Amino acid sequence: MTLTDSPDGSDFAPEDAELSTISTLSVGLPGTVPEADTTAEQGDAPADLEERPAPDVPTPSRDGLSADEVARLTGQGEGTVNANTALDRAEGVEPDRED
């Protein structure tokens, strides 16, 4: 049975499934990983940098967001309040306490 064929439709392995690891996996091909850590450095600028045209930068809009757009972006209603309260509690903040 593959993971997507599970009876409950779950894509996760069952709780009692044995998970195997492959001990020969590495971050690079054998012989390509440097023996010592190396730091990345910035290379030289391209020779034709001075002649290259500047990229187009869009002109900023002076239009602000409407109240409806702000509400859609930030959320509203009881569901948002409940989610924020749950997040506060998960972070160890007591949302109902006044400082």
Bigger pLDDT: 6 vs 17: 17
**pLDDT above 70 for 11:** no
Q: How confident is the model at residue 28 (pLDDT cuts 50, 70, 90)?
A: low
**pLDDT above 50 for 17:** yes
Domain boundary assignment for the chain:
67-93
**pLDDT above 80 for 99:** no
Fill in the amino acid letter for 31: G
